[in-house]
Amino acid sequence: MAPVVAVVAGNVVWAVLAGALVAWVVVTQMIGGERLPGITAVLSWWLQSWLGRLLLLAAWAEAGWHLFCQRP
């Protein structure tokens, strides 16, 4: 029998974020892009500024640190 693994708070946060992203994409596909911008419009707007690019680079570095340097 497999051991029971508890769901930690971090996993719940990731599940909520993924669900919100899927819901956003579904809603923008259903109503079109008139009232709610799609994910590509938001990303292109975000990446036009140096602050958005800097924050994206910092998030990428943080994710790389946790994926490659924190694992034994």
Q: How far apart are CA 65 and CA 63, in angstroms?
A: 5
How many whole angstroms separate alpha carbon 39 and alpha carbon 32? 12
Contact 28, 37 (CB under 8 A): yes
Per-residue pLDDT, averaged over 6-14, amounts to 80
Note the pLDDT of residue 2: 64
Higher pLDDT, 28 or 68: 28
List pLDDT tens digits, range 41-65.
Answer: 888 988 899 999 999 999 999 988 8
Q: Say how far apart CA 49 and CA 56 lie, in whole Å.
A: 11
- Residues 27, 36 contacting (CB under 8 angstroms): yes
The answer to whether the pTM exceeds 0.75 is: no
Quick check: 39 and 54 in contact, CB under 8 A?
no
**pLDDT surpasses 80 at 3:** no
